[in-house]
Amino acid sequence: MPSFITISAVDAVQLIDDSKPMILDCRDLKDYRASHIEDAMHVHEQLRDSLIKKADKLKPMLIYCYYGHASEHLAQMFNDFGFQQVYSLAGGYAAWKEQHNLTGEV
């Protein structure tokens, strides 16, 4: 079974532009509310379980966290449940902020 793919912030921009993936932010709610990638959904247990049961497993999915470690675990879980195009953002939101020259706390 294929695994998830780790991609850079530059490649994530291309993925978002080309494929319009489902974007999942697995940071805590406070940081999600402070700033997040446009159209990202905050992942909480109920959303995660609902996505596993009901989401289109063929739609691309981009997952990120603070620095890219927790998102890998979540990406592998979605992949294990049969999602076909799962991507984890290398370096997490910190890399995204750097790529986009954003300021503020991570």
Domains of the chain, earliest start first: 5-99 (3.40.250.10)
For residue range 29-47, what is the model confidence (pLDDT) as tens digits? 999 999 999 999 999 999 9
Helix (H) or strand (E) holding 64: strand 61-64
Catalytic residues: 65
The CA distances from residue 104 to 67, 73, 84, in Å, are: 15, 26, 34
Q: How many CA atoms lie within 13 A of 104 on its CB side?
A: 12
The model carries a pTM of 0.92
For residue range 60-104, what is the model confidence (pLDDT) as tens digits? 999 999 999 999 999 999 999 999 999 999 999 999 999 888 655
Instruction: Tell me what pLDDT residue 76 has.
Output: 96
